[in-house]
Amino acid sequence: MATDKNSVMFRYFLIVLVMSLIGLAVAVRAGFIMFGEKEYWKEVADRFVKENVPVRPMRGNILSADGKLMASSLPEYRVYMDFLAGGEKKDKLLKKHMKEICEGLHRIFPERSAADFRRSLTEGRRKKSRSWPLMGRRVSYTEYKAMKKLPVLGMNRYSGGMYEQVYNRRKKPFGSLAARTLGDLYPDTALGAKNGIELAFDSLLKGREGKSHRQKVRNRYVAIVDVPPADGCDIVTTLDVDMQDICEKALTDKLQELGAEEGTAILMEVKTGDVKAIVNMTRGKDGVYREERNMAISDMMEPGSTFKTASLMVALEDGKITPQTEVDTGDGTHDFWGSEMRDHNWTRGGYGRMDATRALEVSSNVGVSLLIERAYGDDPGRFVDGLKRMSLNQPMGLQIAGEGKPNIKGPDERTFAKTTLPWMSIGYETQLPPMNMLAFYNAIANGGKMMRPRLVKAAMKDGKTVKEFPTEVINPRICSEKTLDEIRGMLWSVVNNGLGKPAGSSQFDVAGKTGTAQISQGKAGYTADGRRYLVSFCGYFPADRPKYSCIVAIKKRGLPASGGTMAGTVFARIAERVYAKDLRRPLDEAADSVVHGIPDVKRGDLAEAERALRALDVEVRTEGNAAAAGDAGHWGTARKEQAAVCLRQESGGAQGGQMPDVRGMGAKDAVYLLEKEGWKVRVKGAGKVKKAARSGKEVTLVMSGG
């Protein structure tokens, strides 16, 4: 059939015309929308798009020196219900699954019954609330995920109605350990950190906030990240969790025993100034001790007798005295410019004549004050300059906020009276935080070099060090080598021959000084009823090779008050446990796989002993009846030789009606022998038989551990 050319062309032009008209219409409409309806459509777009939505970063962790987690962030949620979301369809689903939802919530939160949840949801639905709390508290991530698995609640916010507010809660896995030093965050994360390391290093911990926008696509909001957040750095502290636990336990036990108001303990590494533990305990109204404030760095207290060390150091350095310089303390009382000073034993007649070392050993107020008054009475400014030379007036410049500023009077101050010098020399009319006093004693242990106390070593990100905080020296030499040797000898003598004995240890030498100071009570002074005392001990260990320094300070009411028997015993407990934890044997003492030690062997059954020794590849020799040594039922002794154990038989039975000699035997062999001979046996303790006490036909074995 022939093609109608005109018909085809007509249809072609018709299609082109229609398409052109449609394109023109689209262009006209687009122009109208762009210009004529611009504001309207902008409002519509704004309802579906949210710009610059903040994306919160994860806050960094706080770690101990050995990498243990001390503070970390975990998400928590406040969960609400919008009963108008999802319309009638959601409402029908809610009614249909109400029982299932309430029972599910009860399983997740057993403290509330299913009936209670039903009443709450029914009331919120009746009120058509858009922000009805499903729980009265924050819920954990695990609880939140369990809620999302329930009917209706698992739907998105705009269909099911459940929505949440997210909080980052700071968790401390070790509970109260160093809680006040680590610090806290405000409940509202926008307010940031409150105190401690959290506040001091907030800029590193919190990271950088990101930005995103939310756009509604197919009836759902989709978050599109524009600027990703940068998570915070991890902060590595100098704290040791085990040492912190040792210090907290030792201090809290003593506070409870004394019924004390509060106490602090700080443990520092001598060479670096690293704070390994810091404890601050205050008794609450319920009698429980908690970390409430950082007394270790903020308390401005008259230090008392621990300051006598500094006073005598100044005089030693200036050549005013030697450790052998004598002073007559008389009956233990002395009048300084109309004000009487007393020694703690003044009611017993005082100490009489003694040298400077003995004055420090027994913490004689009169002795130390007379030495300082005699040396600097005409020039007190030189004494104050000596204290400043040892940096006792300097703030420590700690890495966390809240440290107190030392208050050491100068002779040009209005309050500096004639009585100030003698009282200042024994730790009154001057104020120092415990951390500052410890830094001074740490310098004595550290060869005269005063280190700035360090709490944080580094900031890390993804396992890499971002920023280091190196050790810092406050004063390279607080005194001469001669003075240092003299004062270290005197501090050793305080613990070995003086009032500091309770702080000592049988395992290693300790050096330090006790302190007992009455706390001024404002206008009432030092004589008010219910007197308060600060008892303390500050020192270092081991004295011959100092590794750690420590201060313990306790505030209590009433007498008795003794720095040695109260704070000193806490120091001793801390020192011994830290020393045991840190104990390392020299490498040359280690035995390799080809070295066999010769074991100790108790008296007893020789056959049993020989079998055990041969199993251990230990050479066995015999004395006396060699054949009998390997026979069961023969008893004897064992003697260690250089490369063998020598077994010697002896009679294990009774001789002429006498009780067998079981000393040195183990309990099993001793009981066997005695009961075989008809004795009734009681065992006290463990180890080898140390003593056998008989009463009639009954024998009590006292073991070496009993």
Examine the domain organization and report whether 617 and 672 are in the same domain: no
Q: Token pair for residue 492?
A: 């050793």
pLDDT tens, position by position, 307-347: 999 999 999 999 999 999 999 999 999 999 999 999 999 99
Instruction: Quote the domain boundaries for residue 32.
Output: 16-51
What total number of domains does the chain contain? Answer: 5
Q: In this predicted structure, which of 59-63, 366-370, 460-464, 593-597 has the lowest mean pLDDT?
A: 593-597
pLDDT band at 104 (very low <50, low <70, confident <90, very high): very high
Q: Residue 52: its pLDDT value, please?
A: 67
Is 488 part of any domain?
Answer: yes
- Answer with the residue of higher pLDDT: 460 or 531: 460
Examine the domain organization and report whether 563 and 620 are in the same domain: no
Q: Report percent pLDDT > 90 for the chain.
A: 53
Peptide bond before residue 542 is cis, with ω within 30 degrees of 0: yes
Examine the domain organization and report whether 303 and 378 are in the same domain: yes
Examine the domain organization and report whether 606 and 638 are in the same domain: yes
Identify the domain boundary among 175, 209, 234: 234
pLDDT tens, position by position, 182-209: 998 886 655 678 889 999 999 999 888 7
Segments in 498-632 forming alpha helices (H): 569-581, 606-615, 626-629
Q: In this predicted structure, which of 1-15, 213-227, 441-455 has the lowest mean pLDDT?
A: 213-227
Identify the domain boundary among 533, 550, 581: 581
Is 6 part of any domain?
Answer: no
296 and 278 Cβ atoms separated by less than 8 Å: yes
Examine the domain organization and report whether 47 and 59 are in the same domain: no
Is 8 part of any domain?
Answer: no
Q: Report percent pLDDT > 70 for the chain.
A: 86
Closest by alpha carbon to 578, among 343, 266, 208, 135?
266
pLDDT of 585 > 50? The answer is no
Average pLDDT, the chain: 85
Angle (deg, nearest 10), helices 308-317 and 481-497: 140
Q: Residue 38: its pLDDT value, please?
A: 65
pLDDT of 24 > 90? The answer is no
Residue 604 and residue 647: Cα distance in Å, rounded? 10
271 and 549 Cβ atoms separated by less than 8 Å: no
Is 251 part of any domain?
Answer: yes
- Answer with the residue of higher pLDDT: 434 or 627: 434
Examine the domain organization and report whether 455 and 535 are in the same domain: yes
Is 590 part of any domain?
Answer: no
423 and 434 Cβ atoms separated by less than 8 Å: no
Examine the domain organization and report whether 191 and 153 are in the same domain: yes
| DSSP at 679 | -
Count of residues making up the chain: 706
Closest by alpha carbon to 604, among 570, 549, 642, 647?
647
Is 7 part of any domain?
Answer: no
Q: Which residue has the tokens 């929308």?
A: 33
Is 484 part of any domain?
Answer: yes
Q: What CATH number is associated with residue 84? A: 3.90.1310.10
Closest by alpha carbon to 500, among 444, 562, 568?
568
Helix (H) or strand (E) holding 493: helix 481-497
Q: Residue 596: its pLDDT value, please?
A: 52
Is 596 part of any domain?
Answer: no
Examine the domain organization and report whether 92 and 186 are in the same domain: yes
Examine the domain organization and report whether 215 and 310 are in the same domain: no
Identify the domain boundary among 205, 234, 263: 234
Examine the domain organization and report whether 500 and 566 are in the same domain: yes
Q: Token pair for residue 417?
A: 């009276």
Q: Residue 484: its pLDDT value, please?
A: 97
pLDDT tens, position by position, 606-646: 777 888 788 777 888 777 654 444 454 577 777 766 677 88
pLDDT band at 404 (very low <50, low <70, confident <90, very high): very high
Examine the domain organization and report whether 319 and 349 are in the same domain: yes
In order, the DSSP letters of 222-291 are EEEEEE--BPPPEEEES--HHHHHHHHHHHHHHHHHHT-SEEEEEEEETTT-BEEEEEEEEE-TTS-EE-
- Give the SS3 label for residue 374: helix
539 Cβ contact partners less than 8 Å away, ≥ 6 residues apart: 441, 491, 495, 500, 503, 510, 511, 512, 513, 549, 550, 571
Examine the domain organization and report whether 522 and 628 are in the same domain: no
CB atoms within 10 A of CB 506: 6
368 and 494 Cβ atoms separated by less than 8 Å: no
pLDDT band at 498 (very low <50, low <70, confident <90, very high): very high
